[in-house]
Structure formats: C-alpha cells, structure tokens
C-alpha cells in the first residue's frame, strides 16, 4: 500500500498527548507511503500521557502548511489544551484550512479547531466533553465514531482509531477539498 507516496503529513502535538492517537495515525500514513513529521511547540522529545516518547522534527513556529499535504491533531487533555495556547500552532492549523488541505482531529485535538476559528457550519465529533466548546465555535456536533466534512476528519476516542485512520488516509489520497476553508 503506497498510495500516499510523496505526501508529507504534519502531526501537531506536545507533552500529554494520548499515546495511541499520535502513534496509530502516524503508523497508518507511513504504512501507506507518506512521510510523517511531528511538530511541537519546542524541539526535542515529547511524552504522551502513558509514557510514549516521540522525537519532534520541527517547531510550530518554523512549520509552514504549504510544505505538507495534511495535518493530524491528536488528543489528550493536556496536549489539546497546551497546543491551542500556542499562537503559531493555531495559525498553522488555520493555514491548512485556508489551503484546502485535509485536517484530522481526534478526541481533545478538536480544541485547536475552535481556537483556529475554522468550525463555522461544519459537522464534527470529538470527546463528548468538547461538545459545547465546538458548538460555540459554530459546529454541529454529532456522536459518531468518525465524521468527514469536506476534508475535515474527526473522531471521539482511541476506540475510533481504525475508522479515523481509514478516513484520514482516504482524505489525504483525495487531496485538496474546495469546501475545506478557514
């Protein structure tokens, strides 16, 4: 399976990420031929809430959406809360939408979408505690394992990773989506 050969996928996270929500999508895109690049607020190593250590390739301040084909936002309460406070990460996320590129957020990764102001009129899912935040940001929230809305892929929890990964790979393979915009 190499239908993502030549594609670069950004994975934006920091300490406290939900381990499987970073490692599973990373493995899925690499398995399909893409290059996965882990981006964080600082260089070095980030650690998941269950102890997985992941090397950071690029800082959010140095990352440019035009250098990638898609963006993945893993969950984890601490991760989601910290990433949305980083102005460069919020701007980077918004740029993926402005460039009509696929974006995938799982669990608490949806928080950054609210801060990036890209949810107006979109249908999404997330960890249930984000429902009000995402609705207040203009989204229609539904309780489904995976939701795809014009290149935006969202899921609720690690239990949804098989469906999330399948849709992530599919959306990256499809490329830009005209309806994906900031």
Mark whether 100 is an active-site residue.
no
Location of structure tokens 């740029």? 95
- SS3 for 89-142 is HHHHHHHHHHCCCCEEEEHHHHHHHHHCCCCCCCEECCCHHHHHHHHHCCCEEC
Mark whether 69 is an active-site residue.
no
Phi and psi of 100, rounded to 5°? 65, 30
**CA–CA distances in Å: residue 125 to residues 30, 62, 128, 144, 147:** 25, 29, 8, 6, 6
Q: What angle do CA 161, 180, 147 make, to 5 degrees?
A: 30
Q: Which of 32, 69, 100, 108 is catalytic?
A: 108
Instruction: Count Cβ atoms below 10 Å from residue 120 Cβ, excluding itself.
Output: 9
Q: Which of 32, 69, 107, 177 is catalytic?
A: 107
The DSSP element (H or E) to which 155 belongs, if any, is strand 152-155
Q: Minimal CA–CA distance to 157: which of 165, 145, 167, 149? A: 145
Residues marked active site are found at 107-108
């Amino acid at each position: 399976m190499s239908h993502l050969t030549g594609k670069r996928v950004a994975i934006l996270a920091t300490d406290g990420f939900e381990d499987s929500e970073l490692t599973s999508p990373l493995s899925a895109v690499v398995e399909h031929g893409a290059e996965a690049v882990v981006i964080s607020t600082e260089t070095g190593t980030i650690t998941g809430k269950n102890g997985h250590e992941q090397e950071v390739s690029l800082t959010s301040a140095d990352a440019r959406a035009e250098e990638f084909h898609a963006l993945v936002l893993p969950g984890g309460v601490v991760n989601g809360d910290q990433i949305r406070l980083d102005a460069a990460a919020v701007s980077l996320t918004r740029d993926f939408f402005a460039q009509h590129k696929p974006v995938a957020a799982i669990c608490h990764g949806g928080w950054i979408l609210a801060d990036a102001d890209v949810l107006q009129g979109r249908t999404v899912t997330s960890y249930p505690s984000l429902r009000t935040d995402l609705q207040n940001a203009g989204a229609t929230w539904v309780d489904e394992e995976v939701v795809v809305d014009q290149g935006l892929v969202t899921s609720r929890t690690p239990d949804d990773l098989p469906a999330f990964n399948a849709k992530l790979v599919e959306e990256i393979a499809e490329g830009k989506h005209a309806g994906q915009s900031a």
